[in-house]
Structure 1
Amino acid sequence: MSAPADSAASAASPAFSVVICAYTEDRWEDILAAVSSVRAQSRPALETLLVVDHNEALRERLLKEYAQGEDREQGAGREHGAGREVRVLANAGPRGLSAGRNTGIAASRGEVVAFLDDDAVAERDWLRHFAEGYADPAVVAVGGRTVPVWASGRRPDWFPEEFDWVVGCTYRGLPPGRVRVRNVLGGNASFRREAFAAAGGFATGIGRDGDRRPLGGEETELCIRLSRARPGAVLLIDDRAVIHHRVPGPREHFAYFRTRTYAEGLSKALVARSVGAQKGLESERRYATRVLPAGVVRGLRDAVLARPGGAGRAGAIVAGVLSAAGGYVLGSVRARRSGVAFSPAPVGEGAHG
């Protein structure tokens, strides 16, 4: 990647590449909406990269959607204009979100790489708020706030806000404002390019693989590695950088809640195996000992006051904790028996083709 002509201006206002990973045509309209939200930013992105996870039919369809002129012939999938360039890429690694993100990082050209879920739309000032965080050269990552958009039109009465991470959203217990954190949340996050040079990319083998494995934790593992590689690094969440994340109907049911919390336990076992339990579970201990007990008390109080769903929310918190704990125990045993270890994937300096 060529050095910017005015490095001071670049540091104050870095160029953003936005990576959106997609895997299924079932989300076609969501993918188009996600791209449109990036192209409508008040602070334009340099480019949007759509990384398709081993789905040639979807990749071809997206190439046709965004290809124009000579780019159509070359299969580069570009559409030009300020903040309007769209490139469609195939995941160059194994199936899964981590490898897809690494593909996007390697192909991107911006000083900062931002990630947006394929079933989410960003508010107009999303990138502007991210950029403000990077005015401090010590900041290497900035995340935002993710708001659920329930398919039914409203939050299920029984669904506790403390567990909104189950549906990929910001949960009760995270501090408000612009605050320093251990890790950002991957579906609404950004990193300086130098972060990947220092720590490597996302570790494959951790994280989601389409709908087949509702795992997570890949961004936590990366952020912990990054903080170790760069001890003075600052990671922030700015709750003004908002995206709206669609929650499909099946994910509003308790069966998915139970499956996802169990899978999170498995994921945390993998993260702890990779970076150690002390850092891998540092935030989770505070969450489990402070945020969740307060949530149970709140739910029981609502039940006493005859408010809808109070008992259900209290019960869901307890069930979620037990399910996650069960997944963590089993995942830890499996990891020890298999001797599995994860290495950060190397990422390139950028591909301009």
Structure 2
Amino acid sequence: MPVRVSVVVCVYTEDRWEDILAAVSSVRAQSRPALETLLVVDHNPVLLDRLTREYQEVTGVRVLPNAGPRGLSAGRNTGITASRGEVVAFLDDDAVAESDWLSRFAAAYDDPRVMAVGGRTEPVWASGRRPDWFPDEFDWVVGCSYRGLPPGLVRVRNILGGNASFRRTAFDLAGGFATGIGRDGDRRPLGGEETELCIRLSRASPDAILLVDDRAVIHHKVPEARERFAYFRTRTYAEGLSKALVARSVGAGKGLESERRYATRVLPAGVARGLRDQVLARRGGARRAGAIVAGVLTAAGGYVVGSVRARRDGTTFSVVRIDAPAQANREAAA
């Protein structure tokens, strides 16, 4: 029997109203229909009321408030708990999915060992094209897939949260997303919560398979403010802080396993490519090489600061257990 897929879209601001509507429309236009779409509103009563009115007569779309503390992790946990599908997929609120997105995800779950499947996220630049200084290797800064990820359908350590899916039983095994990691309403753009969850899942179930299928494509909007070097610098620093938290939670060995290859192979090749482009008089080559070096240094600085703070403050994380409410929902939907 084919798996049923619930889609969770976490939202928090009316500034993205049109983006939210577009995201939901892309889910409703899937060639393989979703069981349901859950819009989880993060502590914004005005937006909650507006979305409730917008979708009150739309079958298959539910609007609900974040039942936990402010932040993306708690919002996702709220959606997981309320979901009824055997698979829970996550879509960013400023992204649209291609029509075969869910069918690509669902096909991978024919193998019962597969516990998570991610996809490819393409940037949609507000200015109309990629800034010539912005290296492909750092597209994760704007929430997109980046140069260095393996192509095709491949096994990975972790998937990226804005274009992701998990088998429902994965959360029974490992719990939900940890609060205390990732975005929580603070202006600093933290991340890493999906990495921590994936590592925790692999420890709870060593036979679990986590995949990325680059045919499961979404298109992610990049506003002009995020095309600027100031945001690039802020986001790379915040990533260093996040990696320090992840390493504290799951250990530096697993927490930085993929990052070591990225830093020692992918990024040096990117610097060389940028310098070569400069020699060949291709626009932006030296700036791309410089941005890679700057990104590495600011991320490393964030990691050092984050590690010191975590040890000093005794940082802890709360992992939500997700069991009874979701089980009741699944039984009701059966």
Query: Residue 27 of structure 1: which of 16, 36, 48 is its match?
Result: 16
Answer yes or no: is 1:48 the counterpart of 2:23: no
Code of the residue aligned with 1:177 in structure 2: it is G
Query: Residue 151 of structure 1: which of 126, 132, 137 is its match?
Result: 126
- Quote the Cα distance in structure 2 between the aligned partners of 1:138 and 1:255: 42
Matching of residues 279-290 of structure 1 within 5 Å? 279-290=254-265
Aligned to 1:162: 137
- Quote the Cα distance in structure 2 between the aligned partners of 1:139 and 1:176: 18
The alignment of Structure 1 onto Structure 2 pairs a total of residues equal to 328
- Quote the Cα distance in structure 1 between the aligned partners of 2:75 and 2:3: 23
Aligned to 1:64: 53
Matching of residues 121-200 of structure 1 within 5 Å? 121-200=96-175
Q: Which runs of 5+ in 1 are unaligned?
A: 1-8, 69-78
- Quote the Cα distance in structure 1 between the aligned partners of 2:62 and 2:185: 21
Q: Which runs of 5+ in 2 are unaligned?
A: none
- Quote the Cα distance in structure 1 between the aligned partners of 2:287 and 2:183: 28
Aligned to 2:82: 107
Aligned to 2:69: 94
Moved over 6 A (4+): none
**204-213 or 243-252, larger mean C-alpha shift:** 204-213
Code of the residue aligned with 2:10 in structure 1: it is C
- Structure 1 length-normalised TM: 0.92
Q: Is residue 107–residue 348 contact of structure 1 (8 Å, CA) maintained in 2?
A: no
Q: CA deviation at 1:209?
A: 2.5
**248-257 or 335-344, larger mean C-alpha shift:** 335-344
- Quote the Cα distance in structure 2 between the aligned partners of 1:52 and 1:15: 23
- Quote the Cα distance in structure 2 between the aligned partners of 1:54 and 1:276: 32
- Structure 2 length-normalised TM: 0.97
Code of the residue aligned with 2:167 in structure 1: it is R
Q: CA deviation at 1:342?
A: 1.5
Q: Secondary structure at the match of 1:34?
A: helix
Q: CA deviation at 1:140?
A: 0.3
Matching of residues 146-295 of structure 1 within 5 Å? 146-210=121-185, 212-295=187-270
Relative distance call for 1:210 and 1:152 in structure 2 (3 A) is farther
- State the superposition RMSD in angstroms: 1.0
Code of the residue aligned with 1:107 in structure 2: it is A
Identity value in percent: 81
Aligned to 2:287: 312
Q: Is residue 105–residue 348 contact of structure 1 (8 Å, CA) maintained in 2?
A: no
Q: Is residue 124–residue 219 contact of structure 2 (8 Å, CA) maintained in 1?
A: yes
Code of the residue aligned with 1:24 in structure 2: it is T
- Quote the Cα distance in structure 2 between the aligned partners of 1:272 and 1:140: 22
- Quote the Cα distance in structure 1 between the aligned partners of 2:209 and 2:161: 16
Query: Residue 38 of structure 1: which of 4, 24, 27 is its match?
Result: 27
Q: Secondary structure at the match of 2:247?
A: helix
